[in-house]
Every structure is written in structure tokens, then in C-alpha cells.
Amino acid sequence: MPNPTTLPAWQALQAHHAEISKTHLRDLFAADPTRGTTLTAEAAGLYLDFSKNRITAETIQLLVQLANESNLRGRTEAMFTGEKINTTENRAVLHTALRAPKTAQIVVDNHNVVPDVHAVLDAMSAFAIKVRSGQWLGHTGKPIKNVINIGIGGSDLGPVMAYEALKHYSARHLHFYYVSNVDGTDLAEAVLGLDPAETLCIVSSKTFTTIETMTNASSARQWLLATLKDPAAVAKHFVAVSTNAAEVSKFGIDTANMFGFWDWVGGRYSMDSAIGLSTMLAIGPDNFRAMLNGFHEMDEHFRTAPYDQNLPALMGLLGLWYTNFFGAHTQAVLPYEQYLKRFPAYLQQLTMESNGKYIQLDGERVNYDTGVIYWGEPGTNGQHSFYQLIHQGTRLIPCDFLFFAKSLNPNGRHQDILIANVLAQAEALAFGKPDSPEPHRVFEGNRPSNMLVADQLDPATLGKLVALYEHAVFTQGIIWNIDSFDQWGVELGKVLANKIVPELESETEPALNHDSSTNNLIRRYRAARR
């Protein structure tokens, strides 16, 4: 794969940027009164208005050319058909197989994986039905009331985001808790006041060796046994989601109560695998399958639609336009939907762990920026804190606004006021307020944004939204010529602490051979802890 800066389209974009970068959105809109309806795209019930971007029709044409010169179509086919495109780990990348219909054929190492996916889905569904209906009984014969998902990173952020996003559709007689941090406070606060006899723990870990998750799982087992006493209780109160059956049974969980997935599912791409078991327990198997169908619809759109009408490709390309040509560092994601309060945190992992890389596929260092920094909060809350900097700060921060036409909790004027705010913010950012005599009241405008609109937040729509961002990240990763599917930075964190833990725990003063700062901090911690 070529260094993208050597491609003709990249060079054409550089020249084009020099021509149009000073043009104001006010002028672009004045020059073309149809802009607000033409620079739009719609697919799978999602409407994208990208007219308030600092682009012309020529920009889109050149960005599409860049996608083509980077062989985005060919690389997409390689991903969907199970080629080992995660080269540093020699793995296929097949989260799209998790939502493929039963009849699909996706072959990895001479094996069609689709029946395996559906077998796990069926097992999850049977289990979810038992727990939700009260047929699954705890050790003392009580039905389950509380579900604790124990996992971290990709084994936490997707499940907790989806649970919050789809709470409206969840079984309200069940209470869900998400424990991720090895800080003892996380588990302590989650179990406070819970009856172990009515509690189910889902230990979610692809590897089943992650120190945070295994520490929390062991402490949760101790908490359970402190009340229920009998080790046989573990079988009724612990299930596992993992790819590592050997470690699951070593922990004491019957592998009959294990829901599997595969090495071709990356952690941050796993919320629609068995890692979504807590989601399925909350919203039920039918809603979970509706979510998968939503994912699949967006997959097919990305795979087949021309790029100038392709939502994920457009969003990926626009992000790249600002990163590499305008020098923007961050992208705000601003859902005007309270249920999506964890969506920005989820996207942070998806985008930053995937594309935060400086090594190209051929091992060369990049000589261009990669990896957009994602951040955000739901509107309207953010308006009362950080929007100031987006409006009048010195930095360029492209925004993704999201809203749904229908509220899941309609109440008087609330929704109209909410939507008036998101429309007004995007309008003010783009067009500003140039005519005040007082400089501090002037808003320059020319701040770009996307507006993503759907009818209502439901399981299918959530699936479409997540798949949209997954493929936008993929689009950028392909052009940046990096491996979006490894995470060596995370792996480093997993080994580093293991060296220090015994130095903190040892009874006798350990010999330390870190740098002077780390050595000193270890000594101070040991002294303070005593």
C-alpha cells in the first residue's frame, strides 16, 4: 500500500485546500442556494447533512478519488471476506460476520464462520429468555434481579454504552451494573446493597487474563461466597464470555455457561458478539437481533454505495480532510439524545485505539497525522460548558451533531426545545455573528459540522450508528495505511504493571531499578500505605 501523501489525489487536495481554505461557509451557501439539500446523503434511515463543511463539490470528488486510489473498495472486500488484514496479529477482521444473516458464507481458514456465530446467538438467546423470565434460579432458588458485567475496555465500553442507549427497551425488573476499574471502589459501589443470591456476574474477557477483570471477578466470587458459602453456588451466579475456554474453567466457571467468540473479533468491535450478553439480557433476544440487522444494513450500504453517497466513507473522508489538510486535532461528537450519553466515550476507544498509530503497514513511520481525537458530551449540556471554545476559541474543531426526530419520552415542549438548540448551534458555528461593534461579541463562524438525523433511537438505529462509525474509522485507517485492528499500546499497559505489583506487595524492601522518579514514588507509596 502506498504512503497516501504520494497519491495524485492527495497532492490535488493540497492544491485545492490552498484555493478554498479561506472561503467562508457564508459565501459557499450564498453561491449555491441548493447546497443545504444537495450536500446530503441518506441510507438505512440515517440522514447526513454535510453541507456545513468547508468543502465544494470538487472537494468531495477529490476525496472520493483519494479513497479509490487507496483501494478502499478492494480493502473493504478483503475485510468482509475474511482476509487476514490485521497483519501485525495475522488475523482476519470479521466483526461484520457477527451480524451476517444465517445464509451467508464467510470462510476463514477453510471454515464457514456464520453457523458458529448463529449457534452462539441461539445459546445466548436461550439463556437470556431463562434469566429474563425468572426461570434461571440462583443457588438458593431465587430468580435473578441484578446483573453485573465485569470487563474492561472493549469488554465494557460497548456493553455499557448499548445498555444506556437502549434502556428504554430494557427489562426494568432487572438491574444492570458495569464494573471495569481495578480500583476497588468500582466493585464495592456496584455490589453495595445487592443480595448475592439474586445476582448474576458475567465475566467478559476475550483473553480471560486481563488483570483488572480477573481481579474484579475473583473479588466478586469472594463476595458471593461470603454469603452463599457453598462453592457450588458459582455455577448459578457466574457465566463467562470469552475466547479462552481453558482459563474460564480454571477460574471455576463451567464451560457449559461460557459464550464464545473468536480471535477475528477485536475488543472494540465486539459489542455485537457474545460480549453483548448483558445487552441481550437487558433488551431481549428479539431487540438484540434487530440491532444486529441494523448493523448489517449499514455494512451493506458501506460495501456497495458509491462513495459520494456513502455515509461512513463520507464521514471518514471529511474527518481526514480536516486532520490532514486543515491541521485539526480533535473531533467533537455531540448527541442531542440523553440515552446516548456514553456514545462519545465508546467512540473514543473505537476511533483512537484503532487509528492512533504511527507505523504504516510496511513498517515505515508516517509523515502525516493519523488518529483523530474524539470527545464529546450530550447536548444541550455541553453548550453550558465547552462549546464556548468551539465558537470563539482559536482551534478548529469539526463537530458531529446527532439527533432523533421523535423523543422516547415525549413531554410537552422538551423535544422542540432540544432540537431547536442543536439546529441553532450548527447554524451559529457555520455562519457566526459578524456584525457586533464589540469584538468579544463577534462570532467568526466558518466552524464545520455534520448533522446526522434519524427518526427515533431504537436497537436497529443504534446498530446502524455504530457500524457507521466503525466503517468511517476503517476508511481513514485504509487511507492512512495503518493497521486499525491491532492495539500494541494496550498490550504494553498489560505487561508494565505486572513488574511493579510485586515491588509494591513485597514484605521486605525491594531492590528497585527503575528511573529515580519511579523508584522514589514506589518508596513513598510503600511508606504511606503502611
Please give the positions annotated as active site.
353, 384, 494
CB 419 within 8 A of CB 371: no
Least gap, CB of 410 to ligand G6Q (angstroms)? 37
Amino acid at 496: L
Nearer to ligand G6Q by Cβ, of 241 and 454: the residue is 241
> Which DSSP symbol is given to 507?
S
Nearer to ligand G6Q by Cβ, of 231 and 493: the residue is 493
Least gap, CB of 491 to ligand G6Q (angstroms)? 8
Least gap, CB of 22 to ligand G6Q (angstroms)? 40
Least gap, CB of 68 to ligand G6Q (angstroms)? 29
Nearer to ligand G6Q by Cβ, of 82 and 154: the residue is 154
| 3-state secondary structure (DSSP) of residue 197 | helix
CB 46 within 8 A of CB 452: yes
> Using N-to-C axis directions, what is the helix angle for 72-80 and 459-480, rounded to 10°?
120
Nearer to ligand G6Q by Cβ, of 70 and 349: the residue is 349
Least gap, CB of 494 to ligand G6Q (angstroms)? 7
Which three cell numbers, joined as nine digits, stand for 310? 456513502
Nearer to ligand G6Q by Cβ, of 139 and 268: the residue is 268
Question: If you search the block for the grid coordinates 438484540, which residue do you land on?
Answer: 288
Cis before residue 380, ω within 30 degrees of 0?
yes
Judged on CB neighbours under 10 Å (0-12, 13-18, 19+), 145 is middle
Which three cell numbers, joined as nine digits, stand for 200? 448474576
Phi, psi of 32 (to 5 degrees): -140, 100
Judged on CB neighbours under 10 Å (0-12, 13-18, 19+), 171 is middle
Least gap, CB of 269 to ligand G6Q (angstroms)? 7
Nearer to ligand G6Q by Cβ, of 10 and 262: the residue is 262
Which three cell numbers, joined as nine digits, stand for 248? 474460564
- Interface ranges with ligand G6Q (CB under 6 A): 152-155, 205-207, 210, 213, 266-268, 353, 487, 490
Question: If you search the block for the grid coordinates 447554524, which residue do you land on?
Answer: 427
Other residues' Cβ atoms within 10 Å of the Cβ of residue 345: 18
Point out the residue whose Cβ comes nearest to ligand G6Q: 153
Judged on CB neighbours under 10 Å (0-12, 13-18, 19+), 103 is exposed
Nearer to ligand G6Q by Cβ, of 255 and 436: the residue is 255
Least gap, CB of 390 to ligand G6Q (angstroms)? 29
Give the integer Cα–Cα distance in Å for 164 and 271: 13
Give the integer Cα–Cα distance in Å for 179 and 190: 7
Centroid of chain to Cα 315 = 15
